[in-house]
Copies of this chain bind each other. A is one copy, B any other.
Amino acid sequence: MSAADALSARCPAPDPVRLAADLAALERFTRPDRPYTRRAFSDEDRAARAWLADRMTAAGLAVAVDAAGNQIGRRAGTRSAPPLMVGSHLDTVEAGGRFDGIAGVLAGVEVARCLAGVPLAHPLEIVNFTCEEPSDFGLSTIGSRALAGKLDAATAARLTDRGGRTLADAIDSVGGDGRGLDRARRAPGAVARYLELHIEQAVSLDRAGVPLGVVTAIAAPSRYRASVRGRQDHAGGTPMGDRRDALAAAAEIVLAVERLAREAGRGMVGTVGTLDVHPNMVNIVPGAVDLLVDFRGIEPGAIAATLAAFEAEASAIGARRGVAIALAPLLREQPLAIDGAMVGLLEDAAAARGVAWRRVTSGASHDANHVARLCPIGLLFVPCRDGRSHCPEEWAEVGHLAAAAGVLLEALLRLDRVA
């Protein structure tokens, strides 16, 4: 029996009953009128953070909040070394679910409980990242972005929500320090390894009946703001041939996004999730439509080809209809190929724990994407029912979560030796 095997044998396995109790406790921190809605920087977010701090403390972790508002439960290692980090997030979208992000944070706390009394060479940090979901400030993954040095104090002081509050002030409201945000930044190498457990948010594991996914690549989102400017006219008096209907043009864009992603195959997806019509009155031909386009893919070649085809198509729609279509690129991230050694270590850990797994890719991006700037990362998926996520029906089996937490625990024990 190796040293790691010996430690592993001394650890209790993650307890599905404890995990289920924590999940049930956390789902009560929601906006009263809308189930499973805990937007970042809300009263519900603050209440959930207070609850989590108690759970972390009870698990033997010392709780701190960094300048980005990231809530960090930490225990010391037996030697001076950068920490092993496990993280995810507790914030949700509007009418979201009970597992997205949450599963990873609670699994981390459960793993810390299992490790109580088991010495590790590395410090261990369990992190609840600030605002992983899209925020009113036009930015997501705020906490992990700041940790990776991709969001600075000047930007946080400049970005505002619709009410005029700055992101810096919002960060202050959860115990961070928006003006001192740069202090949240960690240097590359200052984290030894990062692991994240997450629900798949896709149907492949659930459909295959496999309880665990080891992620090999994370798709990169590319986003555009499309501003369609036609001509506002009376809906009764304007013959069809005289119209420059911004909504009809936008409808063609919506369908082009869908068709181009379908045609590209190779894991590409394309979505128009946001579309606003002006003036949005029943008897007026819409003069303007603003929409957000999101493409994601795993293969850089497929992504580039799809984006180029989309830009050409939008231009053709505008020319054919006599409407102005401006595409502002908002985001163009590179897909992340996960380090083969980390994939292999997670597969070995799954095998050691007797958990069946398959390799998967992630369509959604995660806090892990940003932390990958600091150190090798690993990402584990558990199935979610019918692939549903970002909705109240989101569901993962606690048995799957506990098994995946066991693999996480096993991986930490192994990483403690090699990192």
Contacts and interface: CB of A to CB of B under 8 A. Distances in A.
A138 to B, nearest CB: 10
30 contacts: A93-B281, A94-B281, A203-B238, A232-B390, A233-B388, A233-B391, A234-B364, A235-B269, A235-B273, A238-B363, A239-B267, A240-B262, A240-B268, A245-B258, A247-B254, A247-B275, A248-B254, A250-B254, A251-B251, A251-B252, A251-B255, A255-B255, A272-B286, A273-B280, A273-B283, A275-B280, A276-B280, A282-B292, A283-B294, A283-B364
Contact of A134 (B231, B238, B282, B296): B282
A277 interface: yes
A230 B355 CA distance: 35
Contact of A281 (B245, B254, B274, B286): B274
Contacts of A219: 236
Contact of A279 (B93, B221, B286): B93
Interface size class of A (residues with CB under 8 A): 35 or more
A248 B234 CA distance: 26
Contacts of A232: 95, 390-391
User: 4 tightest A-B contacts by CB?
Assistant: A201-B237, A236-B364, A202-B237, A251-B251
Given A245-B258, A273-B285, A363 B294 contact: no
Interface of A: 93-95, 100, 133-134, 140, 200-203, 219, 221, 223, 231-242, 245, 247-248, 250-252, 254-255, 258, 261-262, 267-277, 279-287, 292, 294, 296, 362-365, 387-391
Contacts of A252: 251, 255
A332 to B, nearest CB: 14
